Amino acid sequence: MNQILNIDFKKNIDANPSTDNCIQPSSTIVQKNFIRKSFNIQFIISIIAIIIFSSCYIIYKYNLSKVEHLSDKLISNYNLSKLYSNYTSSNESTSNYQNPIIGIIEIPIINIYYPIFNDLNDNLLKVSPCKFYGEMPLDLNSTGNLCIAAHNYDNQYFFSNISKLSPNDKIFIYNNNGIKFCYYVFQNYEVEYNDISPIYPTSSDSLELTLITCNNFNNNRIIVKAKAEGS
């Protein structure tokens, strides 16, 4: 009798195995497959996003390098035109020529060396700094405030780093007559985008320089003011 009971008990265990040995239900398999597919899709999307971002960055850097190369060509052409104009200064056909470049700005501490356009518009600003207000000084006895504007690309180009200038840092301006003006920074601050007060000199008898660019984070204007040596 006991043997029969034992045999029946074993049959029941074999017919009803424990949950540890049971086959996973189909819903669990479907869920795992869904998670795996979702992960694969997210991975593919991430790779595509990285490729797109990298491509945009490469194009951006390439365009900036083209602009920088164009600025270098302008410097070369500017120097060549100065030599030519000096050689032909007595030629009547060149006497009425107006150079679109009024000089050069150099800021050694932030590695800036660019021609300065006499006019200001969106196309010229993409190439080099532009005169925003005032006039290029003619000699060391000149007065007034020359304002120069340029883009801020948040890198090493144009006026991207003028916010790093400190008091007494030097800025050099060269006019078309070859005269070099040395300015010393005395102010570095920000104003709202519609504030035009920086265009005015701090005194009527001083020779000043004002650099203007954008703060891309708050839409303000970064202003650097400098005075010529002796002003």
Q: What is the pLDDT of residue 136?
A: 95
Assess if residue 15 is contained within a domain. Answer: no
Q: What is the pLDDT of residue 94?
A: 40
Last residue of a domain, one of 96, 111, 138: 96
Last residue of a domain, one of 96, 114, 143: 96
Say yes or no: 49 and 102 in one domain. no
Say yes or no: 48 and 123 in one domain. no
Say yes or no: 61 and 146 in one domain. no
| Whole-prediction pTM | 0.64
229: left (phi over 0), alpha (psi -120 to 50) or beta: beta
In which domain, by residue range, is 35 found?
24-96
Assess if residue 14 is contained within a domain. Answer: no
Say yes or no: 84 and 121 in one domain. no
Q: What is the pLDDT of residue 105?
A: 97
Burial-class residue 184 by CB neighbours within 10 Å (0-12, 13-18, 19+): middle
Assess if residue 62 is contained within a domain. Answer: yes
For the chain, what is the domain count? 2
Q: What percent of the chain has pLDDT over 70?
A: 67
Say yes or no: 133 and 164 in one domain. yes
Assess if residue 178 is contained within a domain. Answer: yes
Q: What is the pLDDT of residue 26?
A: 63
pLDDT digits (tens, 9 = 90+) for 123-138: 888 889 999 999 999 9
Say yes or no: 208 and 181 in one domain. yes
Q: What is the pLDDT of residue 52?
A: 80
Say yes or no: 112 and 216 in one domain. yes
Q: What is the pLDDT of residue 140?
A: 85
Last residue of a domain, one of 96, 113, 136: 96
Say yes or no: 92 and 118 in one domain. no
Q: What is the pLDDT of residue 53?
A: 72
Residues of the chain with pLDDT under 70: 1-27, 29-32, 34, 56-98
Q: What is the pLDDT of residue 19?
A: 47
Say yes or no: 108 and 69 in one domain. no
Say yes or no: 113 and 218 in one domain. yes
Assess if residue 18 is contained within a domain. Answer: no
